[in-house]
Structure 1
């Protein structure tokens, strides 16, 4: 098992995992051999990446579960209050395990606090000191389980996202408080699930709001553990949506607009996505038309991108059509608990359900692409910023065209690229020579370079306009030099700046190190107490916290170049 390089940081080297990984690689090869030659060629050469190839035509990607529609209420009727509470969380674990082996991607609870509050009332659970303690214990046990269980394919923890912050009733508020308090006070071994705090004026953001205390608690938790991240409903990117009906995956996938009905996330998911390698297109244009001016190269880039995007559209459609050939019986958890917004066994079959999902055209490496085309960092000049925005506007217009022409939920995704951030430049080095390739990774989506030197507010100002364009999901991060434990105000200022600049989804990153010999926490290469070098390092990758030693090659290279957007001084100020 030594020397195995997995595709993401959540995987571990177990016997079952190695067997699964070997099978996965074989299936991917078989799928690529069977696909139309143009699909396979673009993937193999590195123009695109077809994600989750082993699941091609076998399942969809991710889902924001509607846990209330098919909840087994009758089964709970004879239970005591205590048994009902523990039974709810047994049910949650059961859903995660079954769904985690029925789909390829993440599992979302779009309103974790509100749904638990509803279940308390519907199941007639008394709100007492005893039931509250049982609820707190169950929440803590669920969090522990999310960190310990590597039951998916024998090697991976489940990608679970809990959206909270809007429940204003006593029970719902208690759920959010118990979850945040436990996560904040737990050790660095507790880094899952991803908690998303929904920020909304009139509910929790303003000092006079009923849930403002929970917002402050969330910020304190972020200061210590980087979690929660923040879904900003007063930003321009989200202001039109009902926060009660919208949740997001910790990885950034966003499913809201729907050509077949109500704009909502609950009971909907992403069918799948394909990411386009922007730097490779730029490198090819530069090689063929290097003597032309920047505007002409940008025009040719758009043409080349649109041509590749047309193939990506066809790949997503082919994958979807193959999926429709399956039976509802291939999705027993979804069928039994009615987790989508429509029933799998309805008269219209799978299409009546899965058409509500999204088909995402992703992109990575906007920063490197503009640098190749213009010879400058896009975030450093007004011209660079305008060209970058112009390119993404063009992408969105093309993808919106697919949506209108086909009456399907096509979206533009700002890809995270955990695996492909290293795969793409490795392939590009075989064909091209350029400084952007030599650093061994490409920058996520539309993000500025990780060593940009911009301050937090400058970074959000630059990245903010891209959020409204990337309707399939996106996130902006601010990097701190260390945990801002005594500086919650700095995080609140960053959140407000995100709202002001139109950021849809926001996260805060900083190094989290722990000495395995004496348990000292901080940011260091060598333990300041015992001078030991056995250091447990937690960093964020693709939206989730993971142990740095398990990062992919490309992400390790990126982490090595990350520089803070804000440096925290000893007294906590920026």
Structure 2
């Protein structure tokens, strides 16, 4: 660009502007503030006069350009149009944009600087916008990014959210993800209504997976029949990736299942799972021996635990619901596989899932045995999470089938395997569908992700029957749009002992969560319309008609989840006692959750959104809320009276870090470290399951190296039959030596085999098993605090 200059009339006096030979795009104007070649501070005109010059500007697209005030004007005119969409505020007028541009130029001149960059110009513009009272314009016009030092810390594995997600490992993709996360979170907080953004930053509520808020849904449980009928289109459109037709062989079917969950990670922020996994896979196992089926299960498990392809180079957060036989409601339904619905209408044989009881039982046995063996080092497989379904259908043996097939394992023997796996690794999760509120046999229900529950019933879904028969490709898709968690202890601090104030504040927070959800819907509508969630909205080629098939995910059926954190600490501050310490405190907890659950129904009706109340896994949220309350002067003494963990260390360290060893109790749980019997813990926690319709879990921390599998089974079945606990897990602590690969029970600081201290401890962080080294300080403290139970405690 030539350096022609001219003098123009200006209210502030004669100033120099660059040529208008080419106006740079505003988005290309920025870059890090870099020293440029020292410019001449004065320039001589043809008549010998000297005028002040402006330094050149370094742009983000790698050019040096002359200063041009019109770039600032055009930038403001373009960028503030976003304020109309995101904040409902008119964009800037041309007159005011010119005023701000002139003021910006005036301030640059007064600084007498020798270098100029886009970010510096933007900072000056934003300062002027704030001075003029235009916060929304400033939020739109500011930039997001990271100081160079912070970015370097991320590359080294420290700094920003270093221990935010225990499933992440240290690699280049993780660094890339965290840098992107940082930018995305800043962007969305600037674009959210300022009041909502402040509630998140202030710790009143927590918007989960904020980095993906504007681009994708939260989590999804898939109906495998969809992929067995249509085949696999990994990119959702067929334009970028190769498209595979329906799998004809079992090996391909397993690979399609694996890659479907991996591909879905591009469209969802949370976990991915398969409902009724073995029943839908069973037709592919027809005629195969046990060993062949075991090989298929081994391939599936290893693929799921070796694909470092999820967000930031992590394993796919996955789960599979497992029944030991074909559930009664599926026995007479036509099978869907090899690109067909085998209902007999096309002249072929009618085949139903009940014909594949053998294959389901062998598949269950094989999957348990694969997981019992562990990997090559003997470590447990942490994914896919095996969700063992305890259903009425399998509490009584099918004696006729058993007599006809004496070589096959019974339901009881298959459940035995799950508790052998529990005793060895603590891997299984138990999905208890026996309680009446679960509605077993009346609809579809499953747990997924970190214990979020999804369901579909004929009463709620007019197409339920068509989906059972896969009519016209209709199928089940269950998932969540977004999770927002509430800081319950803060509601207690605000209520100051008044019940009505307490419930009112909780409902107020739920109202604020609805603003978040409404914003999510508004933002995601153009994302979907513009094809930016292609895997979820794909419509593959129908293998029978050759036309576009059914959409993969029923977007309108996704629920909105309101999570609960710290109910116990809320009650403790409100009443002076924890829920396990007095009946009065316990009743306040029940009343609060009931009020929230009822209000959630009102909100569902009011907004036309399905609201689900859930226990938040709170891998980091329990810590974040506690630390946030400690940082607020008005709450500091209050939080210190109820918070769990190492309070002294937190108080001493809060000026240096926010990764502190303190936390609020997850969901509606009794605190992990509470010195109560296991029976008392169950009697308290099970009451909340029917209330928390969006998902809950009860943790039983095992204290023995080699618990008795039969004893665990007897105890678990008593829980299933006699309580309302809908989902539970037995957690076993383990340690692996990274030098000689020796596996040990319990949390060890050194290898008992070789003496090396190069060990990695393993345990369940929230809803999955993972290496302790990646946990934050609060979760590590919780791990230390956990009250562990021996077999004798389960009698």
- Settle same-fold status: TM greater than 0.5: yes
Give the equivalent residue in structure 2 for 1:301. 502
Match of 1:128 among 261, 276, 288: 288
| 1:466–1:491 distance in 2 versus 1, CA, 3 Å | same
CA–CA distance in structure 1, aligned partners of residues 382 and 551 of structure 2: 39
| 1:74–1:358 distance in 2 versus 1, CA, 3 Å | closer
Residues 116-265 of structure 1 mapped to structure 2, 5 A cutoff:
116-118=281-283, 120=284, 126-129=286-289, 132-168=290-326, 169-186=357-374, 187-188=378-379, 190-204=381-395, 210-238=410-438, 240-242=439-441, 245-257=444-456, 259-261=460-462
Give the equivalent residue in structure 1 for 2:719. 497
CA–CA distance in structure 2, aligned partners of residues 365 and 205 of structure 1: 40
CA–CA distance in structure 2, aligned partners of residues 145 and 426 of structure 1: 39
Q: Once the two structures are superposed, what CA deviation does each residue of 1:500-521 show, in whole Å capped at 9, x if it has no partner?
A: 1201111111211233445151
How far the C-alpha of 1:152 sits from its partner, in A, is: 1.4
Deviates more, 1:2-11 or 1:253-262: 253-262
CA–CA distance in structure 1, aligned partners of residues 231 and 267 of structure 2: 25
**In the alignment, is the contact (CA less than 8 A) between 1:198 and 1:243 conserved in 2?**
no
| 1:400–1:166 distance in 2 versus 1, CA, 3 Å | farther
How far the C-alpha of 1:63 sits from its partner, in A, is: 1.0
- DSSP-derived class of the 1:102 partner: coil
Give the equivalent residue in structure 2 for 1:92. 257
- DSSP-derived class of the 1:221 partner: helix
**In the alignment, is the contact (CA less than 8 A) between 1:512 and 1:521 conserved in 2?**
yes
Query: With structure 2 as the length reference, what TM-score do the two structures score?
Result: 0.64
CA–CA distance in structure 2, aligned partners of residues 230 and 237 of structure 1: 16
Deviates more, 1:258-267 or 1:494-503: 258-267
Deviates more, 1:481-490 or 1:11-20: 481-490
How far the C-alpha of 1:166 sits from its partner, in A, is: 4.4
- DSSP-derived class of the 1:377 partner: coil
Query: With structure 1 as the length reference, what TM-score do the two structures score?
Result: 0.88
Q: State yes or no: 1:464 paired with 2:716.
A: no
How far the C-alpha of 1:255 sits from its partner, in A, is: 1.5
CA–CA distance in structure 2, aligned partners of residues 384 and 275 of structure 1: 22
The count of aligned residue pairs is: 544
Match of 1:27 among 177, 184, 200: 184
How far the C-alpha of 1:70 sits from its partner, in A, is: 4.3
| 1:89–1:185 distance in 2 versus 1, CA, 3 Å | same
How far the C-alpha of 1:438 sits from its partner, in A, is: 6.0
Match of 1:369 among 570, 592, 612: 570
Q: Which runs of 5+ in 1 are unaligned?
A: 287-293, 340-344
**In the alignment, is the contact (CA less than 8 A) between 1:199 and 1:205 conserved in 2?**
no
- DSSP-derived class of the 2:189 partner: helix
| 1:203–1:30 distance in 2 versus 1, CA, 3 Å | same
How far the C-alpha of 1:498 sits from its partner, in A, is: 4.3
How far the C-alpha of 1:370 sits from its partner, in A, is: 0.7
CA–CA distance in structure 2, aligned partners of residues 563 and 205 of structure 1: 35
Match of 1:436 among 642, 648, 651: 642
Residues 17-56 of structure 1 mapped to structure 2, 5 A cutoff:
17-56=174-213
Give the equivalent residue in structure 2 for 1:400. 601
**In the alignment, is the contact (CA less than 8 A) between 1:196 and 1:250 conserved in 2?**
no
CA–CA distance in structure 2, aligned partners of residues 517 and 74 of structure 1: 43
Residues 421-432 of structure 1 mapped to structure 2, 5 A cutoff:
421-431=622-632, 432=636
CA–CA distance in structure 2, aligned partners of residues 528 and 471 of structure 1: 45
How far the C-alpha of 1:51 sits from its partner, in A, is: 0.8
CA–CA distance in structure 2, aligned partners of residues 304 and 505 of structure 1: 29
Deviates more, 1:135-144 or 1:391-400: 135-144
- DSSP-derived class of the 2:663 partner: coil
CA–CA distance in structure 2, aligned partners of residues 366 and 480 of structure 1: 24
Which is bigger in relative contact order (C-alpha 8 A, separation at least 6)? Answer: 1
Give the equivalent residue in structure 2 for 1:353. 554
CA–CA distance in structure 2, aligned partners of residues 222 and 205 of structure 1: 22
CA–CA distance in structure 2, aligned partners of residues 115 and 242 of structure 1: 17
Match of 2:513 among 298, 309, 312: 312
**In the alignment, is the contact (CA less than 8 A) between 1:251 and 1:543 conserved in 2?**
yes
- DSSP-derived class of the 2:369 partner: helix
How far the C-alpha of 1:555 sits from its partner, in A, is: 1.2
Give the equivalent residue in structure 1 for 2:533. 331
